Structure 1
């Protein structure tokens, strides 16, 4: 049985949002799960932003991440090899990785390119779980993570806008999409 990696990123932002190219990762949360959604392992680290090192008030309030936490963290070029070492033993069994929406994939690839970081994730298929959930449920448009959990008969667990909590909640929806995906392929 293979594994899926569910990733959520928190990034610098301001009220009203910034374009992705102006944002920087400040927290990485990853939950490694099997196809039934059972967590095998997890990874969580804060990341020190380099271009805009001071978090906005809006960002601190939204994420509950303090300036001291990111100040004490390593920048992404130092931190990413730690993530890759953590993931390495699981890599042969990885089916792919997913996130709630395409933002996390875009942000990660952009920052890897900016910093010249090689990532094994770029070799794996990415599943936009937000889009797939909407397709499977025949929704008129994709919904937020909270709404999707409610549609699935569940509720959010943990602190919203924290990377590991968001990744774990996203992982709870993965089996629904994978099972429904398998059922549509077999019919």
Structure 2
């Protein structure tokens, strides 16, 4: 599918197990939250949202660094579904929006999905097309600098909504950036 025949942008932001001291190696990080919004490319409004905590299996105990960074607590993930079940729930929700393109801020989210799918031996749930909105933002500004999501919001004069480093809130904020870019590109 190409951007021309898609009706929606699926904007996802993930949170994953993490630490500041190396106790969770990068290749063992696991998704603990999927935040997703469906941005309608006709109205540029969010049509639907999906949020799911996920119980990690490699490092089931969150580090203090991780809970401080993400505000996700151990009790949030303790009874959450494991990755395979969470992906089934995500796919069931996505059936309501059959023509979408997966987007995220940078390539981290795509790579983390690929890593977790490989570990859990399940197929990657998206088409091969992925839009890196972080790159698109730099192109939009005509600069080579790569902005963090919060920096991009500030640069556009948009207020960060919700809690930074929470998947669902960051997905909404990324959608606001992409909407701004698209509407201002159209109106130029």
Q: TM-score, normalised by structure 2?
A: 0.88
In the alignment, which of 92, 96, 104 is matched to residue 89 of structure 1? 96
Contact 1:20-1:107 within 8 A present in 2 as well:
no
In the alignment, which of 115, 119, 131 is matched to residue 127 of structure 1? 131
Secondary structure, counterpart of 2:59 in structure 1: coil
Residue 28 of structure 1 is matched in structure 2 by 34
Q: Give the stretch that moved more between structures: 171-180 or 76-85.
A: 171-180
Residue 142 of structure 2 is matched in structure 1 by 138
1:160 aligned onto 2:139: no
Distance verdict in 2 for CA 1:182–1:118, change over 3 Å: farther
In the alignment, which of 2, 8, 25 is matched to residue 3 of structure 1? 8
State the alpha-carbon separation in 1 of the partners of residues 120 and 143 from structure 2.
Answer: 38
User: Which has the larger helix fraction?
Assistant: 1
Residue 100 of structure 1 is matched in structure 2 by 105
State the alpha-carbon separation in 1 of the partners of residues 162 and 112 from structure 2.
Answer: 23
| Equivalenced residues, count | 181
Contact 2:113-2:124 within 8 A present in 1 as well:
no
* Structure 1 stretches of at least 4 aligned residues deviating more than 2 Å after TM superposition: 16-20, 175-184
Per-residue deviation, 1:168 = 0.4
Residue 64 of structure 2 is matched in structure 1 by 57
CA RMSD of aligned residues (A): 2.0
In the alignment, which of 29, 43, 59 is matched to residue 50 of structure 2? 43
State the alpha-carbon separation in 2 of the partners of residues 130 and 160 from structure 1.
Answer: 16
State the alpha-carbon separation in 1 of the partners of residues 79 and 124 from structure 2.
Answer: 24
Structure 1's unaligned 5+ residue stretches are none
Secondary structure, counterpart of 2:116 in structure 1: helix
Structure 2's unaligned 5+ residue stretches are 1-5
